[in-house]
Amino acid sequence: MFTKKKMSLFLVLFLASMVLMACGGGSEEGSGDGGESASSGDENINIRFAHEEGQGDVQDLYVNEFKNRVEEQTDGRITVDVYTAGTLGGNSDMFTQLQTGAIDFAISSPGFTGTIIPQTQIMAVPFLFSDNMEVNKKVLDESEALYGTLAEKYEEKGLKPFKFWLEGFMYWTANKPITEPEDMKGMKMRGMPTDLIMESYRQMGADPQGTDSGEIYTMLQTGGIDGQENPLFYIYSSNFYEVQDYLMDSKHHIYTTVTVANSDWFSTLAEEDQTLIEDTIQEVNDWSFTMQQEEQEKAMAEIEKSDIEIIELTTEQRDAFKELSAPVRDAYVESGGEGAQEILETIEADIEAAEEELN
């Protein structure tokens, strides 16, 4: 017998399938089967690509850049349909559709998948990554922890991760300054609904809230939550700065995401098409680093025109929060499951090596 939750998920998936069927399937051979032979390489292919953000946001720019490059390189033989946030349901619905083959590709942030692949919560460990974005780019592009151990955890769920990439530093907004741990005590602070993010804010003294992203503005406006964290471009595009008095440049962690495909679907593609897609993703990844920096700068320029007060935390102020949140690393190892310790230690070593090389 269906519960209300199961019935709701069934309706979302049913409606999503109707939308996708109207837009056409993947390749003519079908998708998500895995048992069929690979396509010939001259077959028309339609890629259904979903992401978590709105039109014009960083993920949308990324996916459309991929779409333009692939369609141009193949003279339209491969086409890409882009589905923005909410088109096919919520973030968990999108992840389910990717696993089942209802969509072929997605941008899927570890902050929304930590309950399914707990090892991905490594990206939510506060103050783990460097203050130097070039260091972070190098680690996300090359770390064996991501493309070895962590990639295997995605593959166990029927997914093929291509590249991990970043969307900028995370910022805090609130209706009071947050410059020391005392300021965080008792605050209803919104973060992505992953256990480790919630634990991070508990360690810092806050009352963490896993509010759905579509409800953040209203909850801030009505006082249902006191503050929130997000990359700068999203704070601007979602107008959170309009209903908050302070913006804190805290650099407590970076917003990371991953480009991922349904493994069975991808395996049906001809080898030359697989190579073309992989090469294009790498090109777009390199392009996205400059793009996201430009988007942050545009957002800051506009936010500075508003009445919000911008506070940049000092190294000493950040260290106080870093010390409080240190136990989160142990919590990650305990909750992350098999391979979590290896992933953490490898990334820590990779960050240290990259800082020595680039700083």
Ordered by where they begin, the domains of the chain are 12-358 (3.40.190.170)
Reported as a single tens digit per residue, the pLDDT across 267-326 is: 999 999 999 999 999 999 999 999 999 999 999 999 999 999 999 999 999 999 999 999
List b or e across 25-64, with b for residues whose CB sees 16 or more CB atoms inside 10 angstroms.
bbbebebbeeeeeebeeebebbbbbbbbbeeebbbbbbbb
Q: Cα(214)–Cα(229) distance, rounded to whole angstroms?
A: 14
Kindly tell me the burial class for residue 85, based on how many C-beta atoms sit within 10 Å of its own C-beta (0-12, 13-18, 19 or more). Answer: buried
Angle, CA 112 vertex, CA 10 and CA 184 arms, to 5°: 130
Distances (CA, A) of 23 to 17, 102, 103, 135, 199: 10, 12, 11, 41, 41
Q: What is the pTM of this model?
A: 0.86
Instruction: Tell me the C-alpha distance between 169 and 248, whole Å.
Output: 11
Q: Are the CB atoms for 49 and 104 separated by under 8 Å?
A: yes
59-106 pLDDT, tens digit each: 999 999 999 999 999 999 999 999 999 899 877 889 899 999 999 999
Residue 290 token pair: 């400059």
Helix axes 340-358, 327-335, angle to 10 degrees: 130
pLDDT tens string 5-37: 444 444 444 445 544 444 444 444 444 444 444
